[in-house]
Chains A and B, each alone.
Chain A
Amino acid sequence: MTLQRIWTRGAIYLVLAAFCAFYLMPFYVMVITSLKPYTDVNVTRMWELPKGIYFEGIIQAWTTVAPNFWNSIVITVPAVLISSLMGSVNGYIFAKWRFRGADTLFILFLVGMFLPYQGILIPLVLTLQAFGLYGKVIGLIMVHCIFGIPITALLFRSYYTGIPNELLDAAKIDGCGFFGIYRYILLPISMPAFAVVLLWQFTSIWNDYLIGLVVLGNPRLAPINVAVVNIAGSWTVEWNVQMAAALIAAMPTILVYLLLGKLFMRGLLAGSLKG
């Protein structure tokens, strides 16, 4: 290694480390602040480690947001499962049963992925009211499933497109129809795609704020991120509690991401359409 090369390599690692410090900084502050006791939360000592580990901030935050945390689970789990299953079937159709106009239909579906929700929010509320689903958890689950149609169909479609048609033809000769091919050929080999889609849908539905806020007027039913905003909006709540609440809201997605980071990365790439 020449001296110049050592210099360059060193500089690269240094710059990367600096970037990482920047990306970790808010996490560091969130964690240490939420572990500080009320008396230790002080603007001049923000960056200092707590004098010990105190859970009062986390406990206080948890008692406030726990109901909303469960709401989020009740909303997210069914919405993720249903929308992934729908996406799988829709992707199968768009990849392997391209009836006349299916490709155009697919492009029309994708528009939903990019639309600013503000442009469809009022009709959304009116439609839900007409169906008697406004303000109900089941209505919110349905909306998440519908807004998940484009991205889930896209992810599964690109996965199924890679599966050779000869496999399907063979199944057809063996007497499999539309459902048989899906059930016996595609579903058993769909697990990698399911992992990506489940992860993607889990993070986006868990992290949703706007839809939950609009569809569920009642704060008792609200998902976790709505509760975090309510805590952060009141200046009487101490910072350690606010940070703890934010951390609680972020924990499920952070954990899932750390455990399944590779899949998340793959999902990110597929989600952008052009890797």
Chain B
Amino acid sequence: MATKSMVAAGERARAAGGPITKRRRRMNGDMVIAFFVLLPSILAVAIFIYTAIGWTFYISTVKWNSQIIDYTFVGLRNWSRLFSDNRFYADLRNLVYYAIGFMSQCIIFGFIIASLLDQKIRGEILFRTIVILPFAVSGIVTGVAWRWLMQPTTGINLLFAKIGLENFQPVWISHPDYGMWAVTIATSWQFTGYVMALYLAGLRGIPQELREAASIDGAGTYATYRYIIIPLLMPVTFTAIVLTGMNSIRVFDVLASMSGSGPAFATDTLAFFMYQSTFGAYRYSLGATIGAFMILLSAFLIVPYLRSMRDEVER
């Protein structure tokens, strides 16, 4: 009897997996070594990520708004100052514009291109390579190239003029209201390939039988996509929303080389505001407040995403 239950326990441990669990979760010698090998990374993450987050929030509650370090507690004064700053509201508006423009372009075009590439296309690798190529270049390079393309007197406007649109000559990034939309064209140019790759992998994961079954049931292309493929790709769409959402919150590089803050902060972002307040104006507490606000914003995306991942990790 005793042996039998031991075997059963062994089986259960085997199901749980791992050479360790088999002998119960005992801290044996190798386990201790594993922990100590991991320790430097744990410390690095603890210091540079978690302590840093706490520290940023702490700095946001002190009076350190000059080059001289000053940890005098001022409560939420920096926060209320931020919330009464016009630039902050311009940035929030820009974040909404940017997120809508960037996320929808990446997701819609990424999905369309992936669906087209999934139709047994000759030269798929070539098409795929071209679409992802922009993802290999930096935000800075993207900004330099697109600033040239979006010059009002040349670039895309020149192409518009050539096809008879002499009167449609937008000023792109210099427009006080629509500048941010123009920026999203450049950044989604860079990022759509990534989203496309996610969708393509998702499409490849859908069993062929499902599509065949749908077509036997008389579902046309539209119905197949509407009722089978798009719902099955929801996890990919969720991932794409999180990734593009994160990018929307921290957009910085492309602005540094493309448009800067723009006229009347038309293309300003929180990341840009934070950088200039901190390293340009030495208003560290204000900068920390903006940074802390950005962390709070991204928590809305990070937390559900990690929660959805947890089940996968703890198999």
Interface residues of A (CB under 8 A from B): 12-13, 15-16, 19-20, 22-27, 29-30, 33, 43-44, 46-47, 86, 89-90, 93, 96-100, 103, 105-112, 114-124, 126-127, 143, 146-147, 149-150, 153, 165, 168-169, 172, 177-179, 203, 206-210, 214, 225, 228-229, 232-233, 239, 242-243, 245-247, 249-250, 253-254, 256-258, 261, 264-265, 268-269, 272-275
Per-residue CB contact flags for chain B residues 90-121 toward chain A (1 = under 8 Å, else 0) read: 00000000000000000001001100110101
The residues of B that contact A20 with a CB separation of less than 8 Å are: 127, 130-131
Say whether B278 contacts A122, CB under 8 Å. yes
Most chain A beta-carbon contacts within 10 A, residue among B112, B148, B252: B148
Q: Closest residue of chain B to A242, judged by CB? A: B144
Looking at chain B's contact residues, the main secondary structure is: helix
Q: Closest residue of chain B to A157, judged by CB? A: B313
Say whether A24 contacts B291, CB under 8 Å. no
Q: Does B147 contact A (CB under 8 A)?
A: yes
The residues of B that contact A261 with a CB separation of less than 8 Å are: 125, 129, 132
Q: Does B77 contact A (CB under 8 A)?
A: no
Contact of A46 among B22, B133, B155 (CB under 8 A): B155
Instruction: Report the minimal beta-carbon distance from A91 to chain B, rounded to whole angstroms.
Output: 11
Looking at chain A's contact residues, the main secondary structure is: helix
Per-residue CB contact flags for chain B residues 156-195 toward chain A (1 = under 8 Å, else 0) read: 0011000000000000000000000000000001000110
Per-residue CB contact flags for chain B residues 17-38 toward chain A (1 = under 8 Å, else 0) read: 1111110010101110111011
Query: How far is it, in angstroms, between the C-alpha of A242 and the C-alpha of B258 when the chains are bound?
Result: 12
Contact of A228 among B18, B116, B141, B288 (CB under 8 A): B141
Given A118-B294, A250-B138, also A19-B131 (CB < 8 A): yes
Can you list 6 A-B pairs, Cβ within 8 angstroms, ordered by A? A116-B249, A120-B53, A165-B18, A261-B125, A268-B135, A275-B201
How many residue pairs bridge A and B at CB < 8 Å?
Answer: 293
Say whether B136 contacts A100, CB under 8 Å. no
Say whether A209 contacts B270, CB under 8 Å. no
Q: Does B67 contact A (CB under 8 A)?
A: no
Number of interface residues of B (CB under 8 A): 112
Q: Does B213 contact A (CB under 8 A)?
A: no
The residues of A that contact B261 with a CB separation of less than 8 Å are: none
Say whether B301 contacts A24, CB under 8 Å. no
Contact of B148 among A29, A112, A143, A249 (CB under 8 A): A29
Say whether A27 contacts B133, CB under 8 Å. yes
Given A23-B193, A210-B252, also A120-B291 (CB < 8 A): yes
The residues of B that contact A24 with a CB separation of less than 8 Å are: 130, 133
Instruction: Report the minimal beta-carbon distance from B185 to chain A, rounded to whole angstroms.
Output: 10
Given A122-B56, A146-B45, also A30-B145 (CB < 8 A): yes
The residues of A that contact B155 with a CB separation of less than 8 Å are: 29, 46
Query: How far is it, in angstroms, between the C-alpha of A169 and the C-alpha of B253 when the chains are bound?
Result: 48
Say whether A46 contacts B145, CB under 8 Å. no
Say whether A124 contacts B134, CB under 8 Å. no
Instruction: Report the minimal beta-carbon distance from B182 to chain A, rounded to whole angstroms.
Output: 14
Query: How far is it, in angstroms, between the C-alpha of A110 and the C-alpha of B36 when the chains are bound?
Result: 20
Given A13-B121, A16-B127, also A29-B141 (CB < 8 A): no
